[in-house]
Amino acid sequence: MNTRLTWICHGATAASRKALFPLDEPLEDKAVEEAGRMIAPPRADRIATSPALRARQTADALGFEAQIDQALRDCDHGRWAGRSITTIGTEEPENLMGWMSDPEAAPHGGESLVDLRKRIAGWMDGQAVLDGHVIAISHAAVIRAAIVNVLQAPLSSFWLSDVEPLSVISMTSNKQRWSLRFQH
């Protein structure tokens, strides 16, 4: 039997609109309304959410009773959390460029992209052995790491995918490999 994984990116926050590295901020009111109008994916065997408030609020707005899963937490941006990427680029241009060009770098004191991908790949492997349909409400960075993992792409491609708020990305696993699944 196969495993189907439906990723849902949490809704927009004031921080995401301002290009800030996230803290544990709530959804914008408009994002709650938009999530409530989304057509929910079909039945799921498991529904998991990041522990972040914005992800839990998205799950609630979708009408899901989701279990919190620490593995689905956002990338740890360390001391950059709550600060704008523009400010970091001005104050720490070498650190920002290093983080964006070296997947093993974590100049902010948080999580490297290598570590993020390992965490998400491990979580996905754990889901693949369970069969059925799982829905995961998480973050753009987490979903990009999952895409890179599925495509077996170099981590430099992490920056080439835009995952918008409330995006839905589907994947399937036959226990030997994951595939992206495009639907209409």
Residue where the block lists tokens 């994984």 = 5
Dump pLDDT digits (tens) for 142-161.
999 999 999 999 999 999 99
Find out whether 145 and 117 touch, Cβ atoms under 8 Å. Answer: yes
The number of residues in the chain equals: 184
pLDDT, mean over the chain: 94
Dump pLDDT digits (tens) for 92-121.
999 999 999 999 999 999 999 999 999 999
Please tell me the CATH superfamily of domain 3-181, with its number: Phosphoglycerate mutase-like (3.40.50.1240)
Domain boundaries, the chain: 3-181
CB atoms within 10 A of CB 1: 7
User: Packing angle between helix 140-151 and helix 113-128, nearest 10 degrees?
Assistant: 70
User: Does position 184 have pLDDT exceeding 70, yes or no?
Assistant: no
Predicted local distance difference test score (pLDDT) of residue 90: 96
Predicted local distance difference test score (pLDDT) of residue 21: 92
Q: For 21-60, give the DSSP string.
A: PP-SPPPPHHHHHHHHHSPPPS--SEEEE-SSHHHHHHHH
Dump pLDDT digits (tens) for 46-103.
999 999 999 999 999 999 999 999 999 999 999 999 999 999 999 999 999 999 999 9
Predicted local distance difference test score (pLDDT) of residue 17: 87
**Prediction pTM value:** 0.95
